Amino acid sequence: MQKKDGQYIVYGNAIKKSHSRQTDSWQKMFVRLFHYDPAETYTLSVQDNPYLGPIFGLKNLLRGDQGEALVKENALVVSTIRMGFGHYRIAMAGVSCARAMGFDPYWLDLLSIPGITTDVINRCNKNYSFFSRLSQRRKFFNKYIWESVTTGEPTLPGLNFILNNYIVGWPWRYLKTNVKDYKMSELFKNLYQALPADIPMLTSHMWNCMGAVAAGMTNVVDMVFDNWPMSFQLTEGAKHGIQSPSGYYGFRAMRGFDETNKVMNPTPPDAIYYVGHHVDHELVENIEVDCAARLRRMKDNEPRRFMVTMGGAGAQRELFKAIIEHCIPLIKKGKVCLFVNLGDHKENWDWLQAELAQHREMIQTHFTWEDTQAFADQIRTQSAQGLHIFLHDNIFHAVYATNYLMRVVDVMITKPSELAFYPVPKIFNERVGGHEMWGAIRGAELGDGTIEARTIPQTLQAIDLLTDDTDLLTLFCDSIVKNKSIGIYDGAYKCVQLATGKKFERKPAAPAAQAQPVQSGIQE
C-alpha cells in the first residue's frame, strides 16, 4: 500500500491525513498489545484434515514441523477465518471446486495459527460478535447504528458525523476502513512468507487476502462475500471474484466508498472479475436431479422438507422458536418435515431442549457426521417425517452438514447471509446487518428465494405458502435450473481458474430422470 505526503492511497484514491494517522495508531496498538516481532519466522507443515479430508482430500496447514512438508506441485491453498460460518462456507466451496478441477486443496485458517494472527482476530471478532448480538436485541441500536456501520447509508446525521470522522473503522463501506484493515493485516505477513510466493491461493476474508498480499504473494484471489460493495473487501495487489453484476459495478466504480460521496478513481479491470455465486461443486453438478426430486415429492404430496440454520450467537432465538412452534402441528399432520441445524453450538441445543420439553417424542437427533450422512443418503429416495435436530462437535461438519442436507431438502429458511447465494429454494428471514439485505434482493430477483421476511408473521406466512401451494416451489426450482445454465452458480470454479489458469470443463448434464445422485463428496 502506498503512502504519499502522509496519506495512504488505494487504487489512486487517498484518504485523509487524519484517518491515515488514526490507521497508524491502530496498527501500533496491536504491535504493543501483542508484542509483535517483525523478524519472527514461521514454519508450516501439513496434516490430513480429519473431517473433510475423507471427502475432499483436504489437508490442514499448521504452525510447526510436526507434519509433512507442503508439496507445491498441483497445490491450491484456501485461506479463511472462522467468523460465523459464512467465511468457512465460501472456503469450502473453493476447496470443493478445486478438488473437482484436479487440484490438491490445503486449508489455512488464521485462527489455527498461534501468534499475532490469533491474537488480533480474536480481539476483533469478540467486538463484532458483541455488536451483532446487540443489533438483534436492541432495535434502536440496530436501526440507527448497526445498519449505518454495515452499509454506510445515512441514519442519524449527527451520529454519522461522529462515525465518519472519529472512528476509523466505521462505517465499513468507506475507504478509511480498507486502509485500517490492511495495516492491521500487515502484521500477518510473516506467516504468509512461509509459503511459496507464487502458490495459487483463494481467500474467503479480506484479512487473509491483505496479509498474503502484504507478504508479497503474487497469485491471490479473494472470493468476495455478500452483495453490498464495501471498500474493506478490496485488496490492491489481488484479484477479486465478485458474485453479482451489481456488486461488480459497485466495486469497479468504488461507488460510495468516500464519506463525502465524491466520485472516485475506479478499480482497474484486471483486479476485479464477475464470476457468479461461490457454490460447492457437488451442489452445482446435481442441480437438475435435486430440483426434479423436489418437484416429484411435491407431486406425491410428501411432507414438505424445511431446513432452519441457527448460528452460535443465538440472536434470533425468538424467531427460531416461533418457526418450530408453527411447524409442530404441521409435522403432526404429515404436511411438514423440519430439519434444524444447530451447527456446533451445544448451548443452543440446551436451550432448545427446554423449549421443546412437551414434544420430546417428536425429536430425532443426529449428533455425528456418520449419522447425518447416512440419514441424508437414505432420504434421497425415501420419504422423511418428523422433527430432526443436527449438532456436531466440530466446525467442519457443522458447516458442511447444511451443504450436504441442502440437496435433500425442499426449502431452506435462513437469514440472507452467504447461504443466500446457494442453489436451493429459500425463505429469507430478517437480516443481521444492513449489508445482508442485498443478498436477499439478489436471491429474490434470481427467483430462487423469497424477498426478505422482516417480521416473524411474514416468515410464518412464507412457510404456509410454500407448504400449502405448489406455485412458489415450482418457480424456485425452475429458476435454479435456468440459473445454472447461464453460469450463475459458477463463482468458485472461476475463482480457481483465476488462481491457476485452468478452466473447469463441465460435462453435459444428464436428464433428471437418469442423473445419479452423489452419495458423498464430489462427483468424479
The number of folded domains in the chain is 2
The one-letter amino acid at 499: A
**Predicted local distance difference test score (pLDDT) of residue 522:** 31
DSSP sequence for 212-267:
HHHTT-S-EEEE--SSS--GGG--BTBEEEESSHHHHHHHHHTTT-STT----PPP
DSSP sequence for 322-374:
HHHHHHHHHHHTTSEEEEEE-TT-HHHHHHHHHHTGGGGGGEEEE-SHHHHHH
| Model confidence pLDDT, tens digit, residues 298-320 | 999 999 999 999 865 555 788 89
Based on the fold, state whether residues 22 and 112 are members of the same structural domain. yes
Whether 37 is in a domain gets the answer yes
| Strand-pair partners of 158 | none
Helix, strand or coil for residue 309? Answer: strand
For residue 95, the number of C-alpha atoms closer than 13 Å in the C-beta half-sphere is 27
CA 353 to chain CA centroid, nearest Å = 28
Whether 515 is in a domain gets the answer no
| Strand-pair partners of 389 | 340, 365
| Helix H or strand E encompassing 273 | strand 272-274
**Predicted local distance difference test score (pLDDT) of residue 430:** 87
Measured at the CA of 320, the angle between CA 109 and CA 446, to 5 degrees, comes to 70
For residue 316, the number of C-alpha atoms closer than 13 Å in the C-beta half-sphere is 23
Based on the fold, state whether residues 310 and 162 are members of the same structural domain. no
Q: What is the domain-level CATH number for residue 472?
A: 3.40.50.2000
| Helix H or strand E encompassing 457 | helix 456-468
Residue matched to cell numbers 422433527: 387
Distance, in Å, from the CA atom of 450 to the CA atom of 62, rounded to the nearest integer, reads 41
From the CB of residue 466, how many other CB atoms can be counted at a distance below 10 Å?
A: 24
Based on the fold, state whether residues 100 and 113 are members of the same structural domain. yes
Alpha-carbon Rg for the chain, nearest whole angstrom, is 23
Based on the fold, state whether residues 356 and 417 are members of the same structural domain. yes
Residue matched to cell numbers 462437535: 393
Distance, in Å, from the CA atom of 240 to the CA atom of 495, rounded to the nearest integer, reads 8
Supply the range of the domain harboring residue 413.
282-486
φ/ψ of 278, rounded to 5, equals -85, 100
- Residue 430's Cβ-count burial label (10 Å; 0-12, 13-18, 19+) is buried
Whether 269 is in a domain gets the answer yes
Distance, in Å, from the CA atom of 152 to the CA atom of 506, rounded to the nearest integer, reads 40
The one-letter amino acid at 186: E
Whether 510 is in a domain gets the answer no
Cα distance from N-terminal residue to C-terminal residue, the chain = 42
Based on the fold, state whether residues 473 and 427 are members of the same structural domain. yes
Distance, in Å, from the CA atom of 150 to the CA atom of 361, rounded to the nearest integer, reads 42
Whether 523 is in a domain gets the answer no
**Predicted local distance difference test score (pLDDT) of residue 173:** 82
| Model confidence pLDDT, tens digit, residues 381-440 | 999 999 999 999 999 999 999 999 999 999 999 999 899 999 999 999 988 777 788 999
Measured at the CA of 508, the angle between CA 504 and CA 512, to 5 degrees, comes to 125
| Helix H or strand E encompassing 241 | strand 239-242
**Predicted local distance difference test score (pLDDT) of residue 152:** 61
Nearest residue to 430 via CA among 417, 421, 444, 411: 417
**Predicted local distance difference test score (pLDDT) of residue 186:** 97
Based on the fold, state whether residues 432 and 499 are members of the same structural domain. no
Based on the fold, state whether residues 359 and 449 are members of the same structural domain. yes
Based on the fold, state whether residues 499 and 478 are members of the same structural domain. no
Whether 320 is in a domain gets the answer yes
Based on the fold, state whether residues 287 and 430 are members of the same structural domain. yes
Strands 44-48, 59-63: pairing kind: antiparallel
Q: Which residues 6+ apart lie within 8 Å of 495 measured at CB?
A: 94, 97, 202, 221, 223, 241, 275, 278
Helix, strand or coil for residue 29? Answer: helix
- Residue 473's Cβ-count burial label (10 Å; 0-12, 13-18, 19+) is buried
Based on the fold, state whether residues 165 and 313 are members of the same structural domain. no
Based on the fold, state whether residues 190 and 95 are members of the same structural domain. yes
Helix, strand or coil for residue 151? Answer: helix
Nearest residue to 302 via CA among 427, 467, 122: 467
Nearest residue to 217 via CA among 233, 196, 203: 196
Distance, in Å, from the CA atom of 429 to the CA atom of 319, rounded to the nearest integer, reads 9
The secondary structure of residue 68, as a DSSP letter, is B
pLDDT < 70 stretches in the chain: 126-171, 311-315, 509-524
Based on the fold, state whether residues 364 and 418 are members of the same structural domain. yes
Evaluate whether 152 touches 72 at the Cβ level (below 8 Å): no
| Strand-pair partners of 202 | 78, 221
Nearest residue to 56 via CA among 89, 94, 99: 99
Distance, in Å, from the CA atom of 290 to the CA atom of 523, rounded to the nearest integer, reads 14
Whether 326 is in a domain gets the answer yes
For residue 520, the number of C-alpha atoms closer than 13 Å in the C-beta half-sphere is 19
| Model confidence pLDDT, tens digit, residues 85-121 | 999 999 999 999 999 999 999 999 999 999 999 999 9
Whether 520 is in a domain gets the answer no
